[in-house]
Amino acid sequence: MIIDTHCHLDFKDFDQDRDGVIDRARKAGVNRIVNVGSSIEGTRRSIELAKRYDIVYASLGVHPHEAKSVTDKTIDDFRALAKERKVVAIGEVGLDYYRNLSPKEVQVGAFKKFIHLAGDLKLPMILHSREADREVLDILRKEKEKDQTGVMHCFSGDEDFLKECLDLGLFISFTCNLTFKNAKNLREVAKGVPAERLLLETDAPFLAPQEFRGKRNEPSYLVYLVEEWSKVLGLSKDDIARITTHNANRLFKLNIEEPSEIAYPIRDSLYLNITNECTNACDFCIRYYSGFVKGHNLRLGKEPTLEEIQNAIGDPKRYKEIVFCGYGEPTTRLDVIKAVSKELKSNGVKVRLVTNGHGDLINSRPIVKELLGLVDKVSVSLNVDTQEQYNKICKPNFGADTYKKVLDFAKDCIRNNIETEITCLDLPDVDIKRCERIVKELGAIFRLRRMGVTG
């Protein structure tokens, strides 16, 4: 499933074959479309389309080109229209100083009105900025409420603009112009977009992908953009589809069900989420602010049984490695690890364990020998460089010298010739150089994890 979060199917360009366009979209896996209003009349047509087609949702907006048509009555009308079903956003609104089809001060006035309207209605904003990046940011900072968010659509700015949009909490969307042969610079900037903030859009009928350049664009062509993003971000096409669908669902509240997962693929690895229980309570842990990793819902209703885990894995040979990871500490279920790994090893699959290193403490005995021949690689989350910090940030259940025990666990893995990696985090107070030294002295592989990046 993929979602086109921005297109204009109400335009005349689609009058001859709108049903066909929707059919092709469905066949291509596009099963939600946000039709974006770019004028007062266009907004009314968007709502009509949302009524006619189950997969179409409507956004209410007036493009900055048309800002001169916006009056207080427009805002009142929109406030009433927002009560219609399937209205999910305000936009596109913003500033366009490239063509200045409405005077600048008129654009600014209308933009502010729409920001306040979106704030009142608690709807996300679909933002347009062309040759006006600085002004758009300044106005957003001054006018929007703190928790108000939205998407910067058809992103065409530089790295600084990207960073500031992200700091404002905005989602980011590039159109199919990302696929253009000559879009090298744009693709460079695109590498800086965290997948967690990415949306897909065609902006159809405009900006068809390279394969159809110059022709009319349509939602089914979104698959070309998915392919481009998978190359730019080094993720699979399935990853891009799932993550952007989750993001759009979150931003536009599209009521797409996202059930929790026991086995969850990312790139060419399969991760196993066998428990949500952990013996640390790390300040930075993603489970305290999101149920999702790379678009996968990891909040388990209950711990899965061995059989449920094996069923969720399916054919393990499809993956480069199978990783015990998830939202809890896998070694709280050591028997499950052993049983699942035994099966996986008999299939010749590589097995990795991601752990907080508390396994010996949890099971009240040294466990490394029990993993021999079952687990090929262990990734121990050490996170920080001193015991004090570990106690302060990770808050272990097992008392003040847990940090030392984690190091002991890693040493035991190394002694038993298990490939051992130790990860630390780029937290503000952590001395990364010192972390690296500690890890190298043990003879383990050092890996630095970025805050907020999971999966």
Binding residues for Ni ion, per CB under 5 A? 203
Q: What are phi and psi of 6, to 5 degrees?
A: -160, 105
List all residues 6 or more positions away from 134 whose beta carbon is below 8 Å from its beta carbon: none
Residue nearest to Ni ion (CB): 203
Nearer to Ni ion, 93 or 439 (CB): 93
Lookup: tokens for 214: 């110059």
Lookup: tokens for 104: 């600048």
Q: How far apart are the first and last CA of the chain?
A: 20
Nearer to Ni ion, 217 or 454 (CB): 217
Report the nearest approach of Ni ion to the CB of residue 154 (Å).
7
Report the nearest approach of Ni ion to the CB of residue 75 (Å).
20
Residue 74's identity, in one-letter code, is T
Nearer to Ni ion, 7 or 438 (CB): 7
Report the nearest approach of Ni ion to the CB of residue 401 (Å).
59
Lookup: tokens for 59: 């956004």
- As a whole number of angstroms, the distance between CA 189 and CA 171 comes to 15
Nearer to Ni ion, 50 or 263 (CB): 50
Helices and strands in the chain, H and E counts: 16, 17
Nearer to Ni ion, 205 or 316 (CB): 205
Nearer to Ni ion, 12 or 450 (CB): 12
| Residues comprising the chain, all counted | 455
- As a whole number of angstroms, the distance between CA 243 and CA 249 comes to 10
Report the nearest approach of Ni ion to the CB of residue 140 (Å).
18
List all residues 6 or more positions away from 349 whose beta carbon is below 8 Å from its beta carbon: 316, 317, 319, 321, 322
Nearer to Ni ion, 151 or 382 (CB): 151
Give the position of tokens 């066909």.
20
Report the nearest approach of Ni ion to the CB of residue 41 (Å).
15
Question: What are the angstrom distances between the C-alpha of 39 and each of 1, 36, 68, 77?
Answer: 29, 9, 11, 13
| H-assigned helices in 364-445 | 368-371, 387-389, 402-415, 432-442
Report the nearest approach of Ni ion to the CB of residue 192 (Å).
23
Report the nearest approach of Ni ion to the CB of residue 397 (Å).
52
